[in-house]
Every structure is written in C-alpha cells, then in structure tokens.
C-alpha cells in the first residue's frame, strides 16, 4: 500500500473502482510510478450522483454562515498542511517547490474567499411598474455540479470550483486529471475534518474520462458542469451538456500576447515576462505565448530577459533551490520540443536553451527565441512550456491587430509607461483579463475567465458564486 490516498472518494468513503480497474500516476521527474489509483467507472459515477443527491437538501438548508464556517475551517486546515500538499503537487505534476507552494496558497485562498462570500449572496426587492406587485429576487443553489479539472494546477483548479459550489449550497463530483489525481484525493481528509458531510464532495479519478463525465452529463440530476482544460474537450462537454440543458462554466485554452511598448520600464517588463512566461514552467493557460516588443527596445529587453532565464536552475522540483522542474509528461515535452524545432527551421534565432537534456524525466530547459516568423506553429497554439517566442512591432495599430488575431481571448499583458495609452490599449484588446504593467492576473478575489474560444463564465471574485446559483423571482401581492 502506498502512502497516498489512491481510492475513489464517494459518499465520504474510500472505495475501489466497481470493476477493480486502476491506472498509474508517474513522477515526471524520474518517470517512476508514484501510485496506482482506482479508475472510476460509469457505475461509480452514478454512485457519486446518488451520494450528491442525498447530500444536497441538508447542505442547501444550512445557513450561509454555517456553510462559510465549514469553508473557513477547510482554509485553516489546508494552511496547517500546506507543506505536505505543496510537496505532493511537485511529486505528481513536477513543478518546482516555489511554484508548488504558490499554487497551494492560491488554492487555499479559494476556501477563505468563498467562506467570506457565502454570506454575501444578495437579492433584491422591487415593485412591478404596471401591476404594483412585489418582485422578490434571490439566488438558489443550482444543484449537483460536475467539476472536471486539468493537470497543471492539481489543487487550485479544484478548489476554485469547490469553494464557490459549497458556498452556494451545491454538492459536487470532481473528476481530476488522470496525470494528477493525488492532490485532490489528499484534500478530502481536510474537508472531512472541516465538517463537509458525506456525499457533498466526491472525487472520481478515472482513465475513462469521456465515459464517466458523459454518463453524469446524461443524467438529469446534474445541473452544472464546470470544466477547466483544453478548448477541444470543452467543446465536447458543451455538446454533451446541451441535451439536459446543463449550466456550463468553461475555462479553456489561451494564447496570451505580451506587449512591451517603447516607453515601458524595460527591467519591470522583463521581470513581468518572467512571471507571465515561467510561472508554473509555462504550463498555464495564462502563460505569455506571443511576445511583441517595440523594435526600438528589443535589444535591451532581450538582453535583460535572457539573463534572467539563463539564471534559472533546472532539476527535480522536490530538491531545494530548483526553479524549473520537469514538464508533466512526455507528450507535453515532445510538443514543446517540436515548437522550438519548427520555429528555428522557419528562421527563428535561438538565444538560449532549446536542447532537451538526456536521461530520465520530462525536462526541457528555459528557451528564448527571437525573430520568430509569423508562420511558426508556436504562435498559433499554446506552447505550454518554458519557451519564450519574441517578435517585434513598430506601430501600435499593428500590434493590437496581431494580438487580437487569435480564436482565444483569455488574458493579454501590456507594459507601457504612459498609463493613458496603456488603458486605451487594454480596452482594445479582446481578452477577458488584462495585466497592465503586471505579469500576473490570477487572484481569488477577481473574476478569472476568457472571451471567444477561451471560455464561458468566470471563476473567483463575486462572479464565481453565480456559476453555482440560479436566480429565482417571486411575484407577490400583499
């Protein structure tokens, strides 16, 4: 038996899969098997819905304050065990210690933020203009929510959904990514201790993602599907959700532009790009993917940025002093390597890195490309790795057009000295979030989400709660 939680968590109990199936979770730093985890079946998925259905009424009937207090205790317990959780994130995802701790704190904050928001779900009272009837408007929990999360933030992408769902009064079934199910399973004892009743939060790791999620979306008891992952899978879930008209929240892919204007503080911009590109090793939907630097400042900017990238230390993220761990799996590493080769073949200049090391582990070094041609694949697709692709521009109209020329619209970054121009640029960018002189936009108190094919709905902030609520209006006379 391993030291990890490896079974399904259904109705507050640890269970094997109904057919006894399992799958392996690898450590991306050395490719060894970290744990063998139960692989949920359709039968198990329906058992999750049964448990969630039974938990729904009593939980929704609890006062908002009580629900908030359970979440607040979950935050405190999470913080007590934060080292352990961060370590587990590194083991299964590969990210270095600093990134893992950053994620763990961010993840815990969603419990604290929604503990506070649970008591701030407002309605209103009005009068019908013609009849004079009283219009009472309030929010009700939407019902059972199916949550599907990616591997790049094994804790935070889950808590960002569980926090608001529980605050709103909804039970959940969470299907974590098959690469990284251990962190979410490890959070269940914390939730239990915090007072989450059996059946309210169920965790269903499965290598049959399509079948188990599909079965839950085909069941009319499911009322919300909240997904974070690729646009391709998001589209499939939107189709599946349509049959039962299930409320969707979709956090999908990104292809973030990062614009450095001529009057920007070059040091600050290079530092900002380090965060926007290298946080989480570039394995983030928010990662700067297309970097546009004004031609007049290209040289000092590239010099400063390359020096910062060259100073990063690559290695097993579990060790001290490591900045860059391995990528999550061979497929992601191979894709990153392809992007570099493709760009160089088409004429890009390799300023740093680019060569994958020999030996075990899915490592790829910090890499900087300049003079990247427009035809390079890495400008169309998410790189999802530690590769910075830099281009130049002369004219702001041109850079806005190029930045907006994508089907994605999650986040854009602008570094600019003159804030009036910076604001004007920000407003013309077709993205759900803008980092203006900042390389980081994620914040539990802010509405995270994209436009166009980057998604539907928002997570975090006040808006995040609405994804798990339905508006009810009562027309009354007295």
Catalytic residues: 251, 285
- Whether 286 and 410 have beta carbons less than 8 Å apart is answered as yes
Alpha-carbon distance 91 to 88, whole Å?
5
Smallest distance from the beta carbon of 364 to ligand NAD, in angstroms? 16
One-letter-per-residue 3-state SS of 243-275:
HCCCEEEEECCCCEEEEECCCCCHHHHHHHHHH
Binding-site member from 7, 139, 178, 404 for ligand NAD (CB under 6 A): 178
* Window of 6-14, 50-58, 100-108, 148-156 that interacts with ligand NAD by CB under 6 A: 148-156
Instruction: Give the chain's length.
Output: 478
Quote the strand ranges of 154-287, DSSP E: 172-175, 201-203, 222-228, 247-251, 256-260
* Window of 104-112, 130-138, 175-183, 334-342 that interacts with ligand NAD by CB under 6 A: 175-183
Smallest distance from the beta carbon of 382 to ligand NAD, in angstroms? 6
Site for ligand NAD in 254-293 (CB under 6 A): 254, 285
Smallest distance from the beta carbon of 35 to ligand NAD, in angstroms? 17
String of contacts with ligand NAD for each residue 23-42, x by CB under 6 A: --------------------
Closer residue to ligand NAD (CB): 145 or 416? 145
Interaction between residue 323 and ligand NAD (CB under 6 A): no
Strands 13-15 and 8-10: antiparallel
Interaction between residue 213 and ligand NAD (CB under 6 A): yes
* 205: three-class secondary structure by DSSP: coil
* 466: three-class secondary structure by DSSP: helix
How wide is the angle at C-alpha 234 spanned by C-alphas 432 and 284, nearest 5°?
A: 55
DSSP 167: H
Binding-site member from 37, 382, 387, 422 for ligand NAD (CB under 6 A): 382
Residues binding ligand NAD: what is the number (CB under 6 A)?
27
Closer residue to ligand NAD (CB): 338 or 473? 338
Smallest distance from the beta carbon of 385 to ligand NAD, in angstroms? 12
Binding-site member from 27, 93, 149, 453 for ligand NAD (CB under 6 A): 149
Smallest distance from the beta carbon of 122 to ligand NAD, in angstroms? 26
* Window of 58-66, 245-253, 307-315, 468-476 that interacts with ligand NAD by CB under 6 A: 245-253
String of contacts with ligand NAD for each residue 62-101, x by CB under 6 A: ----------------------------------------
Closer residue to ligand NAD (CB): 96 or 213? 213
CB environment 450-469: b (16+ within 10 A), e (fewer): bebbbbbbbbbbbebbbbbb
Q: Distance from first CA to last CA of the chain, Å, rounded?
A: 65
How wide is the angle at C-alpha 393 spanned by C-alphas 390 and 397, nearest 5°?
A: 130
User: Who contacts 218 (Cβ-Cβ below 8 Å, separation ≥6)?
Assistant: 240, 243, 244
Interaction between residue 435 and ligand NAD (CB under 6 A): no
C-alpha distances in angstroms, 274 versus 217, 280, 305, 312, 316?
40, 11, 7, 10, 20
Interaction between residue 452 and ligand NAD (CB under 6 A): no
Q: Which tokens belong to 125?
A: 């009272």
* 48: three-class secondary structure by DSSP: helix
Alpha-carbon distance 247 to 225, whole Å?
6
Interaction between residue 117 and ligand NAD (CB under 6 A): no
Interaction between residue 248 and ligand NAD (CB under 6 A): no
Smallest distance from the beta carbon of 459 to ligand NAD, in angstroms? 7
Q: Which residue in the shown chain puts its C-beta closest to ligand NAD?
A: 229
Interaction between residue 252 and ligand NAD (CB under 6 A): yes
Interaction between residue 152 and ligand NAD (CB under 6 A): yes
> Could you list the residues that contact ligand NAD (CB under 6 A)?
148-152, 157, 175, 177-178, 209-210, 213, 228-230, 233, 236-237, 251-254, 285, 382, 410, 450, 455
């Amino acid at each position: 038996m391993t030291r990890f939680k490896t079974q399904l968590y259904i109705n507050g109990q640890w269970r094997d899969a109904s057919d006894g199936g399992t799958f392996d979770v690898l450590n991306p730093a050395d490719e060894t098997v970290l744990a063998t985890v139960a692989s949920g079946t359709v039968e198990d998925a329906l058992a999750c819905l049964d448990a969630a259905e039974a938990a729904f009424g009593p939980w929704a009937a609890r006062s908002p304050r009580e629900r908030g207090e359970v979440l607040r205790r979950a935050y405190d317990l999470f913080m007590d065990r934060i080292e352990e959780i961060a370590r587990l994130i590194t083991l299964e995802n590969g990210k270095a210690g600093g990134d893992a701790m950053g994620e763990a704190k961010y993840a815990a904050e969603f419990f604290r933020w929604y503990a506070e928001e649970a008591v701030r779900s407002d309605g209103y009272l009005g009068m019908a203009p013609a009849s004079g009837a009283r219009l009472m408007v309030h929010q009700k929990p939407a019902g059972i929510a199916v949550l599907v999360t990616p591997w790049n933030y094994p804790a935070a992408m889950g808590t960002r959904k569980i926090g608001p769902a529980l605050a709103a009064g909804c039970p959940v079934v969470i299907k974590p990514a098959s690469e990284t199910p251990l962190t979410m399973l490890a959070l269940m004892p914390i939730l239990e201790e915090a007072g989450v009743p059996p059946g309210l939060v169920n965790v269903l790791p499965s290598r049959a993602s399509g079948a188990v999620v599909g079965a839950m979306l085909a069941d009319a008891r499911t009322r919300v599907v909240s997904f974070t992952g690729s646009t391709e899978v998001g589209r499939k879930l939107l189709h599946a959700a349509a049959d039962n008209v299930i409320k969707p929240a979709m956090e999908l892919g990104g292809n973030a532009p990062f614009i450095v204007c001529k009057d920007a503080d070059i040091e600050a911009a290079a530092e900002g790009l380090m965060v926007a590109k290298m946080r989480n090793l570039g394995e983030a939907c928010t990662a700067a993917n297309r970097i546009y630097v004004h031609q007049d400042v290209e040289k000092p900017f590239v010099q400063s940025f390359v020096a910062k990238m060259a100073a990063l230390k690559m290695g097993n993220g579990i060790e001290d002093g490591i900045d860059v761990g391995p990528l999550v799996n061979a497929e992601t590493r191979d894709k990153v390597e392809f992007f570099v080769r493709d760009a160089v073949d088409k004429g890009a200049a390799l300023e740093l890195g680019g060569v994958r090391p020999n030996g075990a582990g899915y490592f790829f070094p910090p890499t900087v490309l300049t003079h990247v041609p427009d035809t390079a694949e890495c400008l169309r697709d998410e790189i999802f790795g530690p590769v910075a692709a830099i281009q130049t521009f002369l004219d702001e109209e041109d850079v806005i057009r190029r930045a907006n020329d994508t089907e994605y619209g999650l986040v854009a970054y602008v570094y600019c000295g003159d804030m009036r121009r910076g604001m004007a640029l920000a407003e013309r960018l077709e993205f759900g979030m803008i980092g203006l002189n900042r390389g980081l936009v994620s914040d539990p108190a802010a509405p995270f989400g994209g436009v166009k094919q980057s998604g539907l709905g928002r997570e975090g902030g006040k808006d995040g709660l609405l994804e798990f609520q339905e508006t009810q209006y009562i027309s009354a006379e007295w």
